[in-house]
């Protein structure tokens, strides 16, 4: 029977346990996206806490594309050496680390009007911002940017690269019939809406080779009447498996409101207190043979062990609980298995970056030292 705290191999990565620090924007890089000492320290401290795998915050693949201030970058070769040092520091603590690549698109309110923002169509994003519909040439530029960035990720020694396909960001919008109403080969049918993702994956694979782990982060559904359904998501995941994707992290486009929806039936599945999108991930893990990692609402080792016992899910992503308790994993491993203190109030996303304002008020200022 699978255990949370056991050595395992997930998606091509040998891990000390089944816990992953899921990606978040820290607002701790410099203005160009380069590492700062506080950001490096944050990742090393996560490794010291006993987490098996760390995902970086979402990292921009084009310099001008910046949905939030002080987000990380990997858009040119100047980043490789500093990230190589970071990876070495994390590995010294017996943890693994992947880099998440993203293009934010119209999910932004940062410097709107000062920069070109690609979108699949003219439909505004969740912040009410309308972008510039990407031409075929623009899409080719994006494909190359992702591939070049992935090559740098491998050169820096990361253990995997993750392509962000969730949370209303650009690639998620291309997949969604709500946002993507294009009439060309990138819109309409599911095959067409998947085209940009497939082109990015194939270009990435060409750059990193067949053996380097490539993961994706997905949303289980758009939770909109005219958006992608869970049924479509299952079909997409079968395609990802066929292409050669190594692992799928499952989240949802109601991640900020899921706590209030616990117990309700959405898209035919219950929003679960023990893991918001568990019922969705459970089905996906049965439908595909590649590993599925569940993120969102994870609270205790007991809940995770129950989910491991009752499903084919392989691992769990934590984010906000680690903001409230940076030593949470160490506490659990030491035998104190009380649930995480985090109350999932979503107040940790502040104008200064992500940090818990309830249980760990001083952590952000300490990291800024």
Which CATH number is 136's domain given? Answer: 3.20.20.70
User: Maximum Cα–Cα distance for the chain, whole Å?
Assistant: 57
**Residue 134 belongs to a domain:** yes
Beta strands in 205-291 (DSSP E): 214-219, 247-251, 265-266, 269-270
Q: What is the pLDDT of residue 323?
A: 87
pLDDT digits (tens, 9 = 90+) for 9-55: 999 999 999 999 999 888 999 999 999 999 999 999 999 999 999 99
**Residue 3 belongs to a domain:** no
**Residue 103 belongs to a domain:** yes
**Residue 1 belongs to a domain:** no
Tell me the sheet residues that pair with 9.
14
**Residue 207 belongs to a domain:** yes
**Residue 2 belongs to a domain:** no
Q: Please give the average per-residue pLDDT across 353-366, as a whole number.
A: 62
pLDDT at position 368 over 50: no
pLDDT at position 168 over 80: yes
Q: Which helix (H) or strand (E) holds 117?
A: none
Question: 103 and 118 in contact (C-beta within 8 Å)?
Answer: yes
CA 39 centroid distance within chain: 18
For the stretch 228-245, what's the b/e string if a residue is b when 16 or more beta carbons lie within 10 angstroms of its beta carbon? Answer: bbbebbbebbebbeeeeb
Q: What is the pLDDT of residue 160?
A: 98
The residue range of the domain holding 357 is 8-367
pLDDT digits (tens, 9 = 90+) for 146-160: 999 999 999 999 999
pLDDT at position 366 over 50: no
pLDDT-based confidence at residue 343 (cuts at 50, 70, 90)? confident
Tokens of 68: 């939030």
pLDDT at position 273 over 50: yes
pLDDT at position 367 over 80: no
pLDDT at position 172 over 70: yes
CA distance to 74, 98, 299, 331, 342, per residue, from 338 (Å): 38, 28, 9, 9, 12
pLDDT digits (tens, 9 = 90+) for 55-107: 999 999 999 998 999 999 999 999 999 999 999 999 999 999 999 999 999 99
pLDDT at position 194 over 50: yes
Q: Name the least confident of 33-42, 159-168, 200-209, 262-271.
A: 262-271
Q: What is the pLDDT of residue 362?
A: 60
**% pLDDT > 70, the chain:** 95
Query: 25 burial class (0-12, 13-18, 19+ CB within 10 angstroms)?
Result: buried
pLDDT at position 291 over 80: yes
Which carries the bigger pLDDT value, residue 223 or residue 9? 9
Q: What is the pLDDT of residue 363?
A: 52
Number of domains forming the structure of the chain: 1
pLDDT at position 360 over 50: yes
Q: Average pLDDT of the chain?
A: 93
Rounded distance between C-alpha atoms, residue 149 and residue 197, angstroms? 15
Q: Please give the average per-residue pLDDT across 148-175, as a whole number.
A: 97
Q: What is the pLDDT of residue 208?
A: 98
């Amino acid at each position: 029977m699978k255990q949370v705290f056991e050595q395992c191999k997930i998606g091509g990565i040998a891990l000390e346990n089944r816990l992953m620090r899921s990606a978040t924007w820290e607002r701790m890089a410099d203005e160009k996206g380069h590492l700062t000492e506080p950001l490096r320290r944050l990742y090393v401290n996560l490794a010291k806490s006993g987490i098996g795998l760390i995902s970086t915050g979402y990292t921009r693949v084009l310099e001008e594309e910046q949905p939030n201030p002080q987000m990380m970058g990997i858009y040119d070769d100047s980043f490789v050496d500093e990230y190589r040092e970071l990876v070495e520091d994390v590995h010294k603590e017996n943890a693994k680390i992947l880099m998440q690549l993203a293009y934010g698109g119209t999910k932004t309110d940062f410097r709107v009007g000062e920069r070109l923002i690609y979108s699949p169509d003219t439909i505004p994003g969740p912040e009410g911002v309308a972008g510039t519909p990407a031409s075929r040439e623009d899409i080719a530029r994006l494909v190359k940017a992702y591939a070049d960035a992935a090559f740098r990720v491998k050169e820096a020694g990361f253990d995997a690269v993750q392509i962000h396909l969730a949370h209303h960001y650009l690639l998620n919008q291309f997949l969604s019939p709500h946002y993507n109403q294009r009439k060309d080969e990138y819109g309409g049918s599911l095959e067409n809406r998947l085209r940009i993702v497939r082109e990015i994956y194939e270009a990435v694979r060409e750059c990193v080779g067949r053996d380097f782990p490539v993961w994706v982060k997905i949303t289980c559904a758009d939770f909109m009447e005219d958006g992608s359904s869970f049924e479509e998501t299952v079909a997409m995941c079968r395609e990802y498996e066929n292409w050669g994707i190594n692992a799928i992290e499952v989240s949802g486009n109601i991640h900020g409101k899921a706590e209030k929806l616990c117990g309700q039936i959405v898209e035919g599945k219950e929003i679960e207190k023990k893991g918001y999108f568990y019922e969705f991930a459970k089905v996906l893990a049965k439908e595909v043979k590649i590993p599925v990692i569940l993120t969102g609402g994870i609270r205790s080792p007991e809940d995770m062990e129950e989910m491991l016992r009752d499903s084919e899910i392989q691992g769990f992503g934590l984010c906000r609980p680690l903001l409230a308790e940076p030593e949470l994993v160490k506490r659990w491993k030491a035998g104190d298995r009380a649930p995480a203190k985090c109350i999932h109030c979503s107040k940790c996303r502040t104008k200064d970056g992500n940090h818990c304002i309830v249980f760990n008020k001083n952590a952000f200022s300490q990291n800024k030292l």
